[in-house]
Structure 1
Amino acid sequence: MLNTVKLGGWTSNEKPFEISKEAKQAFDGATNNVFGVRYELMLHLGTQIVAGRNYAFICRSESTTLNPKASYVLMIVYASLGECEKVKYQIAKIKKLVKQKPKAHICGGIVVTKADQALIKQLDCIEANHILSSFENAFKNMKGVSYSPELYVAHQVTQGINYHIIAKATLAGTNEVLGFRYVVFNSFMDENTIISIKHI
């Protein structure tokens, strides 16, 4: 989705952690009056110019209940533009990418990361370094496209561990951003294997 640089297409954000004042204002304006769920802005993936402006965000979502349920979602926020009207913000689309599954901490269950665990490249700990090293090993032989881990959103214990990552895709050997992908790879002992790569 986020790979086109033209009117009506999406312009990918090369540095998704760097969220502009305008993007943050759009996110806050669209989510301030939402009840029953809390959204935490994690990444700004890109922007689309239409009759107004669309912003694509990755957010951590958590229900505001006694037993909160966590997930990560793709959120599209629309900002209306026009000299004669006040800018209005609204959630145009929400797509759930991964959610906490029942009995998450047993084999096969999916554990959604906390926000401070998700910023994988900003952490300096044994687990984070292991995940980054395993990711690099799993994707090192990809041809034509390079993948960079941006957000660690979930894991699943199977034969080894399946790691769920939001990754930035760039044209190999360049800085040209092709878009963002939801990738899952398995780490088992010294073997790291790609399970799936999906466009966001």
Structure 2
Amino acid sequence: MRKILLLATVAALAACGGNATKKAETPQTKRPQTETRTQTAGGYTAMRVPTAEDKAVFDEAMKGLAGVTYTPDSVATQIVNGTNYKFLCTARTAAREPMTYRAEAVVYKPLPQSGGQAVLTSIVRLAEPHAAADARPAKAPADGRATGAYTAMRVPTAEDKAVFDEAMKGLAGVTYTPDSVATQIVNGTNYKFLCEGETSTNPPMKFDAEVIVHQPLPSAGDKPYITAIRRM
């Protein structure tokens, strides 16, 4: 009887040991980890050299803009409801005595499903270290008006609107309607227009903007052109 019990115990222990060995030898299958990368909205990326695609967006937004030629040197992007492109450019006026300066142009490219084209939302001239030393002295106009600061804002006259329309001619993607204007006598005249902007996107976006237009002196024979667009 004792032999039978002993043999049964040994058999049970052997069975347990066999199962343990099998469990130890069974390889553990690991599930592959998947990595999902999503592009989220946020700040601008670091500046980089524009690609052919970046330049195509830039050219689409700047098409029709006359008076100044902008060459993009670097770009940063920002994901919004679409994409903002911040271009640092070299600007050169089309005047008889051309001026070259640095500028920042912001272009908005809507999402593909909206079907809208790239639009210029702001463009500003950047301050340069030696701008004061390089600035051309303002010539006093023949009618005796003094050079200096901007006048008070007022309702645009037909003449103001004609200057505005000439400068904005050809600019696509956003329609600007001037509500008020102030002028500044420089080497010519600067017009500061406060406007309502409306994009041609679907759906359209409305915003307030400040548009600066420079009208060269009549003796220069040059047309007015946009020097800045600031979204407010």
**TM class by shorter-chain length?**
0.3 to 0.5
TM value normalised by structure 2: 0.37
More helix by proportion, 1 or 2? Answer: 2
- The structure with the largest alpha-carbon Rg is 2
More strand by proportion, 1 or 2? Answer: 1
